[in-house]
Each structure stands twice: as C-alpha cells, then as structure tokens.
C-alpha cells in the first residue's frame, strides 16, 4: 500500500466522497463539532430552521467564551438561548467562564485520529494532539451536526521538518511567528501544515496547540501534528490515556512541499500592527514604549505560558505606564495556576485578572488607549479588532510580554539575563493536574423549548438568485480585507450576533463608516449591490455574519482577485456569488458607484459557465469567473444553503 503522511491517513479514513487529488472537492465524515457563542447562536437558529431533532456526531459541544461581558441583557439572553438549544439538540454545554472553546475542547474532548469541525477559525488548534480539526462557517457546522459530510477542496500537504531545540527565552509562539514571517497571511492557502521530525520531542502538546492554532493565520486549511508519546503524556495528565492512539507518518511518506525549521536558530519574534504576517525579530523594535500587555487567549493557553510570565514577574512590579491584563484560558488552567502558586506572583506584580474566555482577543473589553501600543500573546491584530479603531497591536510570546511589562518598553526577553541577572525559568510538565469538569453540562434525552429573549431574532428569509442584475458597486476595497473589516468586532457589536437587522448596521463599518446609510439609500434605487476587492478577500475569522449581514443589506455578489477559504465558503452558503476577475487588472477599471449589469445569470450558474458584467454607460466589459462545485450550484440558485435545505 502507498505510504501516507498523517494528514492523508486521517483524510482517507474519513473520506465519504471525492478523490484525494489536491484542489478537487472531497466530503469528510465529521466525528466531533464545536461551537462558540458568537457563531453558535446562528447555528442553533439554523438547526431550528432545519427542524432537526438530535445531532449526529459522536461529540458536540457548545462553548460560551466570546461574549462574556454583561453590560445589558443581550449577552445573557444569548447564553440562556444557547443553554436551552444545547439541551434541545443534544450538545454538551460549557458554561460562561469555563474557558475558551479550543482550550477546553483539548482538555476534555479532543482525541487523536478524529475529525473536528468548529465554527471558529482557530479550531485547527486540535491538530496539536493529532486531530484533523478544521474551522469553518456556522452553516457547515450546522450541516455536520445534522450528520451531513463536510465538503472542502482537497488540500496539499506541506511537510515541516522540525530539527534542533528551542533556545532559552524562545518558545512555541516564535515557531509559528517564524512560519508567518516566511509565509505571511496567504502562504499556507490550500495546504495542511504537517509537522514532523526530531524537533517535535521538545514540544509539549500545549506548545503544539499554540503552533496549530495560529497556523490559521497563514491561510492554511489546518495544521496537523502526529500523535506520539508526548500526546499520550498529555492525555494521561488529563485522565484520558485510554483515548490515545498512535498516529504517525509512514516511513518514507512524502509531502507536496518540504520545508525545515531549525528550532535552535530561532530568536524572539513579534508581529507588527495590522497583520499577523508582519513579523520581525523583537530586537528590531525593542525600546518602543508600551501602554498595555495582555496574556492568554487560545494562542498561548497552556499552564506553562502563564507560569513562565509568573516566574519572570515574581517579586517585580509592572511598569507604572503599563496595564497588565491576565486572560485565563480555562477554568482548569486558573484552578491549577492557583494550586501551583503561579497566580499569586502575577497578581502581586500588578496583574488585572479577568475571567476565563476570549475577552480582549475579540475586543470584549481591554480596548487599548488611542495612539498607544498594546502587546498581546493573541493570534490576530487586524485593524480595529481590539475595539479601538486606530489600534497598534503587537503579537508576541509570553516571555516577550512579561519582559516588556516590567520595562514598559518592547523588550527582547533575552535582555533579562543582563538587566535582571535572571536565568531562563525551566518548566517541567507536571505528571498530574487538577481536572475541572464541573462547568460542563452533559447532553440528555430531553428536548426542552428554546428560550428566546428579545435579542434573539429568527433568521431572515432570502430570495432566490434573480436572472438579471443591474446593481452598483457600493464599495471598492484593496487586498487582505479581513472579516473584522467586513463586520466590525468589539464589545458594541458582538452582542448583536443573534439579531441580524441590528448587526447589519456594522457591515463594512471598519472600512467605511457611512456604508450602512448608503446601503439603505441604495435599497430605494436598486435591487441590491455588489462590492469589489483585491487578493485574499474575507480572510480571518470564521464568522458567517460577515456574509449574512451584507446579504441582509442586499449584497448579491463580490468580485475579488482571490478569496480566503472560509470567507469564500460563507459567501456561497448565504447565496452571495464569489466572482473572481478573469483578468485581475480589471480591478483598476472599476470604480465605486459604477453600475454593473449581468444577464442570463441563472442559466450561466446552472451550467457553471463564465459570466460577463457590463459597466453601464462606460462601454466596459468585465469577464468574471468563479470556481464552485456542482453541489454548490443549487445553493447559489436557491439563494443560500438554508433555502436549499428547506426545499429538500
């Protein structure tokens, strides 16, 4: 039999349809699903629209980690709705404050060799313990919850050979920042990043989680580590060693692309504001004055990550100019930090302790001050994500964060050896930890009514695709537009995620504050609108609201030079056609306000034929292409997947 790498083994053992030829559509059996609250409310409304009885996967968990602030009734309305929906459809329910989805999932449910589909783009963190874990839009997770396969284009596999051993003051975050330094936010597109080699021995399961989690930022479909002795040690620590299986690449297995990282040669790295791909060595920006340091998030969630900051800050006081915020990643981590005496030094040094969850990572609190630098151990720094529109967020390791919190300036942690005569604290993985399960509610056979407070609005209905369109370009955008740009993040917006009419007021807000008013005005004049964009459109989070809200306002299609995977899928799911420029240079010919006309659209889509848009009054024709599967044709024609399922 042909030798296989780990990714190929997991795909072939879950393949329901298609062939494993890169770029072609495959259908995968999904063993586990996870939802977080910011996307989960919609998924539950979709399951209601499907009229589903009980969900099908082996494990399904609804987490509440994103919208934890209770400044009015809205988030709490969502929490109650989610708890009732979890019970109604058969999900586990992880109560508010129990921790970040990816962290609790790895602690309690993740299992080597299984597939996991999550309505959160950092779901690939599960790859740290040998899962095939993919992040996608909520509608795909709703379908998987109903027992349908997950369809995705067969990725290529990038084999990343790790050799050497990380030097002192350099940790797992620097490994993934090195990947981003090399590949930026698009270099992983169409790939699974599979790690192997002798360097793996020195990376714990949580180190691997850090690397797999933030692999999402390269645009990769997912990241995969083997399941080895270190995975077994992790499962033992969690009291789940019986769930271990060995999963390694066959001797002589090959990869579509081969790269190598010598861990011994890495140094502390940092991503500059604006994009996780803007990576430079910390020493190049050291000395810049900072105003805030935030530790935690699913990108640095393990006990070690908090412990190391605690060791560095022990007996110190943070700079008077710095707010030092601690976001515990899970209740279990918090309980263990307390028990091992690692929380005390963080508090004594001046740390501000928040509840377990995403918090500042998704702009739910901890928004930085205007024109100041915030240093974070988080995975993303797209403009405005923090809740401050002109923010300056730098991403780094816990070591760099702790060193900088003391000095008040961006500091290469290696400098602590000279500045404070400090040796690098050596972490030894504990063989046993305290297990915390109390805040998980198991599914049962009952089917209670859904509790819908005033913040929960039933999903809007959408019309089918028309045959002729004559609509304006309401927004022209450049490259790398993120879903944070398409739909604003932050504490004022997130609580509206189960209320599409209200949420839509923030569509494209971070790019053009007047967009909503123009969209409403446009509704009086035209039957819809379109937008145009450059490369890598809709990168970033998995939120389907970034397709649903523009759709609600009347968006019929987008034309981009290229798309990020999840964003592209979400557009199709909600009946927005993701056109691409046949000639990318045509982007320059189009202007905001141009009226585009397309005729014979339904027939063309049905036959998957190319389409031409005519610019009214300008004598310009723009040839458009799109790459949708036969299965997706019906979704577009029906006006989205919900209509399609209802029709079925």
The residue ranges that bind ligand SF4 (CB under 6 A) are 65, 100, 102, 120, 122, 297-298, 358, 361-362, 378-379
Shorter beta-carbon distance to ligand SF4: residue 186 or 213:
213
Nearest CB to ligand SF4, comparing residues 149 and 273: 273
Nearest approach in angstroms of CB 217 to ligand SF4 is 10
In angstroms, give the least distance from the CB of 296 to ligand SF4. 7
User: How far is CA 166 from its chain centroid?
Assistant: 26
Q: How far is the CB of 557 from ligand SF4 (least distance, A)?
A: 29
Would you say 579 and 626 are in contact if contact means Cβ atoms under 8 Å apart?
yes
Question: What dihedral angle (degrees, nearest 10) is formed by the CA atoms of 494, 500, 502, 508?
Answer: 70
CB of 382 to ligand SF4, least distance (A): 11
At its nearest, how many Å lie between ligand SF4 and the CB of residue 514?
28
The nearest distance, CB 65 to ligand SF4, in angstroms, is: 6
Inter-residue contact 334 to 306 (CB < 8 Å): no
Query: Which helix (H) or strand (E) segment is 139 a member of?
Result: helix 138-145
What the block records as the tokens of 63 is 């987490």
- Return d(Cα 234, Cα 244) in angstroms, integer: 10
In the complex with ligand SF4, the residue whose CB is nearer, 37 or 586, is 37
Strand duo 257-262 + 373-376: pairing: unpaired
CB of 635 to ligand SF4, least distance (A): 27
Which residue, 100 or 546, is less far from ligand SF4 as judged by CB?
100
Cα dist from 345 to 3, 249, 341, 430, whole Å: 50, 42, 8, 19
Q: How far apart are CA 450 and CA 88, in angstroms?
A: 7
Q: How far is the CB of 123 from ligand SF4 (least distance, A)?
A: 9
Query: 379 or 639, CB closer to ligand SF4?
Result: 379
Helix pair 331-339, 303-313: axis angle to 10 deg: 40
Closest-CA residue to 394 (of 321, 306, 292, 539):
292
**Location of structure tokens 């062939």:** 19
CB of 482 closer than 8 Å to CB of 274: no
Sole residue written with tokens 């399961």: 205
CB of 107 to ligand SF4, least distance (A): 14
- What letter does residue 148 receive in the DSSP assignment? P
Output 135 or 443, the one with its CB closest to ligand SF4: 135
Nearer to ligand SF4, 5 or 94 (CB): 94
* Minimum gap (Å) between residue 351 Cβ and ligand SF4: 18
CB of 375 to ligand SF4, least distance (A): 15
CB of 108 to ligand SF4, least distance (A): 16
Residue 102 or 153 having the CB closest to ligand SF4: 102
Residue 294 or 559 having the CB closest to ligand SF4: 294
State the nearest-atom distance from the C-beta of 35 to ligand SF4, in Å.
12
* Cβ contacts of 442 within 8 Å, gap of 6 or more: 92
For residues 36 and 555, which CB has a smaller minimum distance to ligand SF4 in the complex? 36
Are the CB atoms for 403 and 414 separated by under 8 Å? no
| CA pair distance 251, 133, nearest whole angstrom | 24
Nearer to ligand SF4, 113 or 490 (CB): 490
Nearer to ligand SF4, 361 or 481 (CB): 361
Q: Name the residue among 36, 45, 120, 35 with its Cα closest to residue 81.
A: 45
Question: What are the Cα distances from residue 388, in Å, to 259, 383, 488, 504?
Answer: 38, 8, 11, 19
d(CA 53, CA 31): 18
In the complex, least distance from residue 131 CB atom to ligand SF4, rounded to whole angstroms: 16
Measured distance CA(109)–CA(75) in Å, rounded: 26
State the Cα–Cα distance between residues 397 and 484, nearest whole angstrom: 23
Q: What token pair was written down for 152? A: 């995705």
Closest CA to 557 of 545, 571, 546, 543: 571
C-alpha dihedral, 107 to 209 to 195 to 255, nearest 10°: 80
Q: Which is nearer to ligand SF4, 259 or 353 (CB)?
A: 353
* Shortest Cβ 625–ligand SF4 spacing (Å): 33
When the beta carbons of 297 and 386 are compared against ligand SF4, the nearer one is: 297
For 71, 560, 572, 606, the CA distances from 577, given in Å and listed in that order, are: 37, 11, 6, 13
For residue 149, the minimal CB distance to ligand SF4 (Å) is 25
HSE-CB for 215 with a 13 A CA cutoff: 33
- Tell me the backbone φ, ψ of residue 162, rounded to 5 degrees: -100, 125
Q: How far apart are CA 279 and CA 271, in angstroms?
A: 4
Burial class (CB in 10 A: 0-12, 13-18, 19+), 648: exposed
Joined together, the tokens standing for residue 57 give 């996967």
Which CB sits closer to ligand SF4, 567 or 639? 567
Q: Work out the number of other CB atoms within 10 angstroms of the CB of residue 513.
A: 12
- The nearer residue to ligand SF4, 67 or 400, going by C-beta atoms, is 67
């Amino acid at each position: 039999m042909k030798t296989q790498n780990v990714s190929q083994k997991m795909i072939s053992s879950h393949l329901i349809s298609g062939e494993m030829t890169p770029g072609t559509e495959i259908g995968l059996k999904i063993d586990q699903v996870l939802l977080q609250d910011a996307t989960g409310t919609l998924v539950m409304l979709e399951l209601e629209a499907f009229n589903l009885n009980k969900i099908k996967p082996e494990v399904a968990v609804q987490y509440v980690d994103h919208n934890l602030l209770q400044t009015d009734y809205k988030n709490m309305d969502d929490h109650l709705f989610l708890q009732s929906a979890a019970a109604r459809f058969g999900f586990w329910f992880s109560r508010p404050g129990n921790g970040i989805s990816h962290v609790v999932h790895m602690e309690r449910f993740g299992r080597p060799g299984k597939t996991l589909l999550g309505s959160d783009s950092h779901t690939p963190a599960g790859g740290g313990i040998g899962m095939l874990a993919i992040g996608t839009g909520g509608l795909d997770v709703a379908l998987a919850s109903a027992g349908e396969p997950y369809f995705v284009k067969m990725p290529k596999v990038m084999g990343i050979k790790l050799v050497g051993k990380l030097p002192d003051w350099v940790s797992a975050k620097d490994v993934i920042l090195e990947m981003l330094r090399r590949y930026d936010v698009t270099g992983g597109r169409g790939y699974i990043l599979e790690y192997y080699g002798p360097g793996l021995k020195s990376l714990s399961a949580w180190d691997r989680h850090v690397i797999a989690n933030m692999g999402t930022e390269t645009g990769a479909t997912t990241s995969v580590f083997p399941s080895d002795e270190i995975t077994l040690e992790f499962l033992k620590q969690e009291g789940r060693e019986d769930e271990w299986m060995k999963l390694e690449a066959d001797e002589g297995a090959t990869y579509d692309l081969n790269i190598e990282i010598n861990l011994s040669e890495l140094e502390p790295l940092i991503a500059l504001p604006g994009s996780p791909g803007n990576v430079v060595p910390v020493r190049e920006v050291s000395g810049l004055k900072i105003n805030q340091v935030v530790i935690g998030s699913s990108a640095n969630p393990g006990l070690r990550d908090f412990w190391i900051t605690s060791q560095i800050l022990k007996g110190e006081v943070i700079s008077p100019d710095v707010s030092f915020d601690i976001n515990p990643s899970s209740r279990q981590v918090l309980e263990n930090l307390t028990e091992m005496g690692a929380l005390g030094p963080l508090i004594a040094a001046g740390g501000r302790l928040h509840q377990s969850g995403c918090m500042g990572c998704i702009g739910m609190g901890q928004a930085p001050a205007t024109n100041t630098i915030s240093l974070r151990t988080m995975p993303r720094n797209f403009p405005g994500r923090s809740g401050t529109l002109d923010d300056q967020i730098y991403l780094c390791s816990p070591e760099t964060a702790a060193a900088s919190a003391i000095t008040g300036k961006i500091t290469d942690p290696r400098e602590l050896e000279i500045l404070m005569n400090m040796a690098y604290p050596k972490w030894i993985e504990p063989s046993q930890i305290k297990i915390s399960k109390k805040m998980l509610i198991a599914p049962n056979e009952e089917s209670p009514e859904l509790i819908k407070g005033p913040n929960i609005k039933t999903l809007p209905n959408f019309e089918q695709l028309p045959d002729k369109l004559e609509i304006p370009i309401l927004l022209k955008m450049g490259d790398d537009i993120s879903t944070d740009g398409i739909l604003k993040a932050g504490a004022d917006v997130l609580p509206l995620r189960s209320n599409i009419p209200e949420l839509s007021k923030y569509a494209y807000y971070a790019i053009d504050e007047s967009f909503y008013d123009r969209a409403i005005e446009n509704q009086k004049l035209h039957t819809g609108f379109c937008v145009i964009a450059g490369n890598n459109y809709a990168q970033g989070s998995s939120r389907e609201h970034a397709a649903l809200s523009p759709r609600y306002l009347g968006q019929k299609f987008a034309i981009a030079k290229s798309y990020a995977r999840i964003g592209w899928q979400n557009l199709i799911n909600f009946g927005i056609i993701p056109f691409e420029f046949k000639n990318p240079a045509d982007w320059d010919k189009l202007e905001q306000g141009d009226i585009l006309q397309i005729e014979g659209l339904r027939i063309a889509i049905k036959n998957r034929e190319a389409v031409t848009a005519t610019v009214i009054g300008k004598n310009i024709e723009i040839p458009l292409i799109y790459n949708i599967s036969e299965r997706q044709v019906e979704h577009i024609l029906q006006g989205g997947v919900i209509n399609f399922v209802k029709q079925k």
